[in-house]
């Protein structure tokens, strides 16, 4: 399925996916830094996975993408199966309940998180030991759901992690942690 058709289908069915502004930001950021190992938490029907995979296929890449909703996972598989990407690896697991080191053999240099907003701090804590020293993390929808993310902000402050909040569109902001 073409991305524009997939976006329309998601809009028609009220399936939340990344905004067009966030999509452009991701593509620009990926093209700028050219990460080799990417990691995604929460991909719904794999729209953002397709965006990331399409962008990073120009250089040696791997994308590990996790979606906890099994129904979304199955629909997403249908959206990506024609692409026959050998380096896009998708899992129907909750990253908080598995040992990521057993699934991801290398360190990760790019992370995109867009799943359960109340779990953002836990995701950050859980992926810490698979991050490369030079990495970028992007958390989506941080203003729209700020009331669910007090623990993330507390953790960022406690660990003195430098981050930027960047507006994508009204009520759609991201947190960017850029350790490059």
50 closest CA partner among 76, 75, 19, 14: 76
Q: What are phi and psi of 147, to 5 degrees?
A: -65, -20
Q: What is each CA distance from 46 to 4, 15, 63, in whole angstroms? A: 13, 11, 12
The secondary structure of residue 59, as a DSSP letter, is S
Q: Quick check: 160 pLDDT over 70? A: yes
Q: Quick check: 86 pLDDT over 90? A: no
CA distance 80 to 84: 7
Q: What are phi and psi of 144, to 5 degrees?
A: -55, -35
CA distance 84 to 129: 30
Biggest CA–CA distance in the chain, Å, is 45
Question: How do the domains of the chain map onto residue ranges?
Answer: 3-8+22-178
88-91/108-113 β-pairing: unpaired
At the second CATH level, the architecture of 3-8+22-178 is 3-Layer(aba) Sandwich (3.40)
pLDDT digits (tens, 9 = 90+) for 113-140: 999 999 999 999 999 999 999 999 999 9
3-state helix, strand, coil in the chain (%, to 5): 45, 25, 30
pLDDT digits (tens, 9 = 90+) for 30-72: 999 999 999 999 988 889 999 999 899 888 788 999 998 888 8
Whole-model pTM: value is: 0.94
């Amino acid at each position: 399925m073409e991305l524009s058709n997939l976006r329309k289908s998601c809009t028609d069915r009220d399936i939340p996916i990344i905004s067009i502004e966030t999509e452009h930001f991701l593509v620009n950021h990926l093209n700028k830094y050219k990460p080799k190992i990417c990691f995604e938490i929460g991909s719904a029907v794999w729209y953002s996975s397709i965006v990331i995979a399409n962008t990073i296929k120009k250089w040696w890449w791997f994308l590990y993408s996790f979606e906890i909703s099994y129904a979304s996972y199955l629909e997403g598989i249908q959206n990506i199966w024609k692409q026959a990407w050998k380096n896009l690896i998708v899992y129907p697991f909750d990253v908080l309940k598995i040992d990521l080191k057993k699934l991801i053999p290398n360190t990760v240099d790019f992370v995109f998180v867009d799943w359960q907003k109340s779990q953002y701090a836990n995701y950050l804590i859980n992926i810490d030991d698979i991050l490369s020293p030079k990495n970028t993390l992007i958390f989506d929808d941080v203003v729209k759901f700020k009331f669910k993310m007090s623990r993330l902000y507390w953790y960022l402050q406690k660990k003195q992690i430098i981050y930027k909040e960047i507006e994508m569109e009204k009520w759609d902001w991201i947190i960017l942690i850029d350790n490059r």
